[in-house]
Chain A
Amino acid sequence: MITFILRRAGSLVLLLTAVSFITFTLFQLGPADPAAAACGQECTPERVAEARVALGMDQPFLVQYADYMRGLFSSRMIGAPGAQSVCEWPCLGKSFQTNENVADIIGRSLPYTLSMAVGALVLWTVSGVGLGLLAALRKGSPTDKFIVGAASVGVSLPIPVTGLFLLLVFVNQLHLLPFTTNEINSPFGPQGPLAWVANYLLPWIALAVLFSASYIRVTRTNMIETFGEDFIRTARAKGLTPRTVTFKHGVRAGITPVVTMLGMDIGLLLGGAVLTEQIFSVPGLGFTAVHAAISGDLPVTLAITMLAAFFVIVANVVVDLAYAAIDPRVRLQ
Chain B
Amino acid sequence: MTQLHTHPRSDRGTPGPASDAFLEVRDLSVKFPTDDGVVSAVNGMDFSLERGKTLGIVGESGSGKSVTSQALMGLLKGTSAQVTGHALFQGKDLVTLPESAMRRLRGRNIGMIFQDPLSALHPFYTVGHQIAEAYLVHNKATKKQARAAAVDMLGRVGIPSPEQRYDEYPHHFSGGMRQRAMIAMALICEPELLIADEPTTALDVTVQAQILDLMSELQEETNSALILITHDLGVVAEVCDSVLVMYGGQCVESGPVDEIFYDTRHPYTLGLLNSMPTLNSPASRLNPIPGQPPSLLDLPKGCIFSARCDYADLAGDGVCASRRPDLVVEDGHGRRCHLSGPQILTIRNSR
Q: Which residues of A line the B interface, CB within 8 A?
A: 229-231, 233-242, 244, 249, 252-253, 326-329
Contacts and interface: CB of A to CB of B under 8 A. Distances in A.
A237 B138 CA distance: 12
Nearest to B70: A233
A233 B123 contact: no
Contacts of B114: 230, 233-234, 237
Interface in B81-113: 103-108, 111-112
A239 B120 contact: no
Interface residues of B, number: 27
In this complex, which of B105, B111, B124, B185 has the most chain A Cβ atoms within 10 angstroms of its Cβ? Answer: B124
A164 B110 CA distance: 60
Given A239-B103, A241-B103, A233 B121 contact: no
Contact of B104 (A236, A239, A253): A239
Interface string B123-135: 1100000000110
A236 B79 CA distance: 13
Contacts of B171: 328-329
Nearest to B103: A239
Contacts of A230: 114, 116, 119-120
Contact of B124 (A234, A242, A244, A326): A326
Contacts of A252: 124
B309 interface: no
A264 B185 CA distance: 39
A231 B75 contact: no
Contacts of A326: 124
6 contacts: A233-B120, A234-B122, A236-B103, A237-B114, A238-B137, A329-B171
Contact of A231 (B73, B104, B123, B134): B123
Contact of B106 (A237, A253, A328): A237
Given A239-B103, A239-B105, A329-B171, A231 B133 contact: no
A18 to B, nearest CB: 36
Nearest to A253: B124
Contacts, number: 71
B169 interface: yes
A233 B171 CA distance: 19
Given A236-B106, A238-B137, A328-B169, A253 B123 contact: yes
Contacts of A234: 114, 120-122, 182, 185
Interface in B160-210: 169, 171, 182, 185-186
Interface in B227-279: none
A89 to B, nearest CB: 45
Contacts of B107: 237-240
The 6 closest A-B pairs by CB, nearest first: A239-B107, A239-B106, A230-B119, A238-B134, A231-B122, A238-B107
B106 A249 contact: no
B108 A328 contact: no
A231 B130 CA distance: 10
A233 to B, nearest CB: 6
A253 B119 CA distance: 12
A236 B102 CA distance: 10
Contacts of A244: 133, 137
Contacts of A328: 123-124, 169, 171
Contacts of B133: 238, 240, 244
A328 B172 CA distance: 11
Given A230-B114, A329-B169, A238 B106 contact: yes
A241 B73 CA distance: 15
A240 B122 contact: no
Contacts of A242: 103
A227 to B, nearest CB: 11
A239 B136 CA distance: 10
Nearest to A245: B103
A273 B122 CA distance: 39
Interface string B1-22: 0000000000000000000000
B80 to A, nearest CB: 8
B75 A236 contact: yes
Given A239-B105, A244-B133, A328-B171, 9 more contacts: A230-B114, A235-B122, A237-B111, A238-B134, A239-B104, A239-B134, A239-B138, A240-B137, A253-B124
Given A230-B116, A328-B169, A329-B169, A237 B121 contact: no
A328 B120 CA distance: 16
Contacts of A229: 119
B139 to A, nearest CB: 11
B121 A238 contact: no
A239 to B, nearest CB: 3
B233 to A, nearest CB: 25
A328 B134 CA distance: 21
A238 B122 CA distance: 12
A239 B102 CA distance: 8
B124 A237 contact: no
